[in-house]
Homo-oligomer: A and B are copies of this chain.
């Protein structure tokens, strides 16, 4: 009988299992020991305050400390309370965490996971709502995982912790309570393998994170009218280009969806890959649905106006299948 838990509980389980399995796995960040935070709740009680440690509000220092601990072989899982706050620490992330492996000619590696809470939809305005995975995917040296459901959250996080490379792990702030079937035992979901969320014949929708739900809603809305294939790449780096191209070969149409800024973003990348490598399959212009390059406004109506959603995906699908 399948067991239903939430996305946050799935994260918690993955952390718990890996910390049990490997004494070199440990966790720190702002308020990670607080009992009211479901993803990390109970871990301090199990593993002690040394291995589950609250950090001062100094992202540069504590993310850098994660890099250092990883360089000497430990497996830190560092939490960024919100991905936005990582902007104060980009040198540690994009230079030290990401590039040390390459810059040392592979004599050093950085088995670190940076868990970053991200996403809009709660009226938290421009500095507390960003996605930014486009920036992380742009910069070389990090793997980038964006789980869209509890099953993937657990499996991808276990993969991330065991990966000898730095991984940035994006958890959408509004997915924490999402429920889903999650096996109790440990399992891994491989990086670079897309999830075929739903099969379809007329158009390929590539969607990420919370937008996978919106893409599925759009597919529901169009049922009987347009047959929509939804693909969730699960990891942006590495990207399962094969899966996208295979799908477009079948459907001839592409709509790329995410909630990060559009310009030079992940939807640009998917569109470019298809325009390069899947051009001859394409029967229509590609379409992107993303944040139209606007800081997230505070007012909820304005925010809705800016964020991608099922309606906008429906419109984009219609524009390419018409």
Q: Which residues of A contact B (CB under 8 A)?
A: 60, 84, 87-88, 90-91, 94-95, 98-99, 102-103, 125-127, 134-135, 137-141, 237, 260-261, 263-269, 271-272, 274-277, 279-280, 282, 284-288, 293-295, 297-298
Looking at the assembled complex, report how far the CB atom of A39 sits from the nearest CB atom of chain B, in whole angstroms.
24
Q: How far is the CA of A206 from the CA of B173 in the complex (A)?
A: 38
> Is there contact, CB below 8 Å, between B126 and A103?
yes
Looking at the assembled complex, report how far the CB atom of A126 sits from the nearest CB atom of chain B, in whole angstroms.
5
> Is there contact, CB below 8 Å, between B264 and A126?
no
Residue from B84, B103, B271, B277 in contact with A268 in the complex, judged by beta carbons closer than 8 Å = B271
| 22 A–B contacts, CB within 8 A, in A order | A84-B95, A88-B90, A88-B91, A95-B126, A99-B126, A102-B126, A103-B126, A135-B138, A135-B264, A138-B261, A140-B294, A263-B269, A264-B264, A264-B268, A267-B272, A268-B271, A271-B271, A271-B276, A272-B272, A275-B286, A279-B284, A279-B285
Q: Is chain A's interface secondary structure helix, strand, loop, or mixed overall?
A: helix
Q: Which residues of B lie under 8 Å from residue A139 when comparing CB positions?
A: 135, 261
Q: Which residues of B lie under 8 Å from residue A272 when comparing CB positions?
A: 267-269, 271-272, 275, 286, 288
Given A137-B264, A272-B286, 20 other A-B residues pairs in contact with their CB atoms under 8 A? A87-B90, A87-B94, A87-B95, A90-B90, A95-B127, A102-B295, A103-B126, A103-B127, A103-B298, A134-B138, A135-B138, A135-B139, A139-B261, A264-B265, A264-B266, A264-B268, A268-B272, A271-B271, A275-B286, A277-B285
> Is there contact, CB below 8 Å, between B135 and A135?
yes
Looking at the assembled complex, report how far the CB atom of A216 sits from the nearest CB atom of chain B, in whole angstroms.
23
> Is there contact, CB below 8 Å, between A288 and B269?
no
> Is there contact, CB below 8 Å, between A288 and B276?
yes
Looking at the assembled complex, report how far the CB atom of A66 sits from the nearest CB atom of chain B, in whole angstroms.
16
> Is there contact, CB below 8 Å, between B141 and A295?
yes
